[in-house]
Structure 1
Amino acid sequence: MSQERIYWLAWSKISGVGAILIDRIYQHFGNLEAAWNADSEKILAIDGVGTQLIATIIATRAKIDPHKLSITHSIDNPDWWTRIDPDYPRLLAEIPSAPGVLYYRGKVVPAENLGNIPTVGIVGTRDPSDYGKRWARKISALLASKGFTIVSGLAQGIDTEAHSACLEAGGRTIAVVGTGLDLVYPPRNQALAADIHQHGLMVSEYPAGTTPDRSHFPARNRIIAGLSRVTIVIEAPTRSGALITAHQANDYGRDVYVLPGSLDNPNSLGCLGLLSRGAQPILGLDHLLELLSSIPQLDPSQQLQLFSFEPERSQVIDGTQIPTTESEQITPPDLSPDLQQVWLLMTTSPTSFDEIVSRCQLPVANVSATLLELELLGLVTQLPGMRYQR
C-alpha cells in the first residue's frame, strides 16, 4: 500500500473535514502525509479551517496511527480507492465533492473506471406506479443490451427495478449504497445485492459496519450523479431525493432525461418540474437511444487532476458574526433545531459546504441531510462547487 493512500484514509476519519476541504488541504501541502504532520498554524492558513476544526484535527491525529489504521481498517474493508489512485472512477473524480475514499465490492472493469464504457444513472421514487416500474425495466434492459452500465442506489422502487432488469438482460450494474458494504438496505434486497456483487459492483463512501442513517442517502445521491454520464429520472414527487440527484447531475454538467408522466400522479410532478426547467423528455426507446448517441466521447488523453473549488468568501469562520440583512435574520417557522441552526448560518451570499460544517459543528452526514431538507423546502439553493445560499 502506498504511503500517500494511508494518509487519505486517515484524513477521512476526521469529523468536519469534507471532500472539498481535503482537496484544499492536498493542494496546499502537495500531499496529505505532509499535511498530517504539519503544525496547527500551517493548517490554519488553509481557507475553511478555523480554531474549532483545528482542535478536532489535533485531537483526532493524536488518537490515530495512520499505518496501524490502514492495517486494521483493511481487515473489514479490503478494497478501497482514494482520489489519487489511477483506478478511481474518472467521472466521479471530476465532481467537486468526490469522496476522498471510496469502498468497493464486486467486479472492477478498468475500462468503465476510465470512462470508456458509458454509464447511465436511473433513479426515482421508492413507491412507483406500474407505469414507472414497467418503463424503468424497459429502459434498463434496453441500455444493458446496448452495453451501457446502469447506476442506481439499491433502494426499493425504481432503483430495484433498474438493477434487476439490467442483470436479467445480462448487463452490468453499479449500486451506490448509503451503508457499509457488509450491510444491505433495505433487507429485502439481500438477494439482489448478492447478484450485483457477483456480476457488477457495489460502492460506498462508508466503511464496513456503517448502519442505515437517513443522512447518508442524500449524500450518496451525488455519487450516483457523479458516476453517470446521464441521469434518468423515472418518477419523482416534488420532494424527492431523485430530484436532488438530477439537480446535482445538472451542476456537474451532465445531461438529465425524464420520463414524462401524468398530472394526476403525484410521483410525476417532480419530473414535470424538471422538464419545465430544461431536462430532456424521453419520448420512446428509439428516442432515448438517439439522445444517448449524441453524448460526446471522453478524451482518453485528458489527464484527471484534483481541483480546489474555492467559494466566494465574505464571512469569517470562528464565531465571528456574519453580516446579514434584516430579512436574512428572520427564522422560518416550524423548523427543527438542526434545520434552524444550519439555515441561520446561511445568507444570500454563497457559503461552502465545509464552512457550514465548520461553523455549525454537526457531523458531516447530518449537515448534508439538513441541507437537502432545506433545499426540498425551497429555503436553500445549491450552487456549483458544493456552495449553498438562501
Structure 2
Amino acid sequence: MLSLLGFATIALFLLLIITKRLSVVTALVLVPLVMGLLAGFGPNELGEMMLAGIKQVAPTGILLMFAVLYFATMLDAGLFDPIIAGIIRYVKGDPLKVIVGTALLTMIVHLDGDGTATFMIVLSAFVPIYRQLNINKRILPGIVALSVGPLHLVPWSGTSARAISTLKTDATQLFNPNIPAMLAGVGWVLAVAYWFGLKERKRLGVTELTYVHHDNLTDSQRALRRPKLFWINAVLTIGLIVTLMKGWVPTPALFVVAAAVALVLNYPRLADQQAVLRGHGNNIFMVSSMIFAAGVFSGILTGSKMIEAMATSLVSLIPQQHAAWLPTLTAITSMPASLLFTPDAYYFGVVPILSSTATQFGIDPLEIGRAALLGQMTVGFPVSPLTASTFLLVGLAEVDLGDHQKFTLKWAFGATLVMTLVALLTGSIHL
C-alpha cells in the first residue's frame, strides 16, 4: 500500500507540473500531504514529517537565497560584462558556437563536482547572451543540466561519495571502470549540444553582433553599474569560489556573509541596496520557496516510509531467473530513479538492498554501485524535484520546472543509455 502511494505521489506530482495544473510550490506541498492522509497518517504526524524535511533543507534554502542575492548583486554591478562581451565577440552571434561553448564551459567548471556553484557561474555568464541572441530559453538550462551529468561521476562528488561509503570500497574500484562510460556520456552531451546549435543556427541565422552591454540597459540598471569596483568584485568572487571549493567555511554561512559584504561594498546607500533587493526579490523568493516546499515533499515521503516501501517493491520485481540482468536493469532505471529517490534514500536505502541481492546471485556488488552512478543523481540530479540545485538552475534561467523536465528528460535518459552500453562493452558492468 505504501509503495503504491509513493509511486502515485511521484507520478501525480510530475503530471500536475508538466501539464501546468499546479505550480511547483503548491504541488510539492499538497500532493504528498493528500497521499499521506490517504495512507492513514494524522495531521500531527504529517506535521512532524514536514517539519523534519524543512529542517533538513533549511541550510540549502539559506544557501540558495543568499547565493542568488550575491550573484544578482554582481550582475547589477557589472562584474560579468567583460566576460559576456568577450564571449559575444568570439561567437559572433553564432548560436551553434554559443550552445557548444555552454556545454564545454559547464563541464570545465563542474570538474569540482559542485552543481550549485556550477549553475551559478555558468548561468550568470550565459543568461544575458541567450537573451541577446533570442535562443530558445529552455536550451540553456537543458544543456547545462546535461553537461554536469557525466562529470558528476567524479569520485569527489556527493553522489559518488555516498556510493563509495555504502559499498565500503574506494574510488579506484568504483570510478576507474566507469571512465570510458563517463567519456561516452561527455560525447553524447556534445553531440546533443551540436544538434541544438544547428537547429538554432537554422532558425536564427548567424548575426554579426557588435555587443556593447550598456546599450541594452535601462537607466536604472545603468545607475547600478560599478565599473570602478570590477577588480575588487572579481577578487571577492574568486575568493568566494575558492573558499567554497576548499570547504573552509560552512557554505550557507559563507554566502550569507558574502552577499552582505557585496551589497554594502557596491551600494553603500540604502536606497541602492533596496533597489537591488526589489529587483531580484521575486527570483530569490521563488528559489527559496521551492526549496522549503521540496523539504515538505521529501519529509513526508521519507517519514511515512513510502520511499523505503518503494525500494523494496522495486527489488521484488526482479525474477530470480533474470538475476544476471540486475546491474543492467539498475543502470537503465538509474536516471528515472532520480525522480523517485533522494540521493540519501537511494544510496543508503536502495543500493544496499540491490547489492546484497546481487551478492546472493554471485554478482559483484560493486557493479550495482557503478550501474547506479550512470544516472541516479548524476545525470538525473539537474531534473529531479528532490534536488535543491535543480530549483536554482531553473530559477536563474527563469524557466518553469515542468518545461525544463519536458525538454531535458529524454536527452538525459539518452545519456544514461549511452553510458550503460559503453559500461557493458568495457566490462564495468556485465549481463
Tell me the TM-score normalised to structure 1 length: 0.30
Query: Which has the larger share of helix?
Result: 2
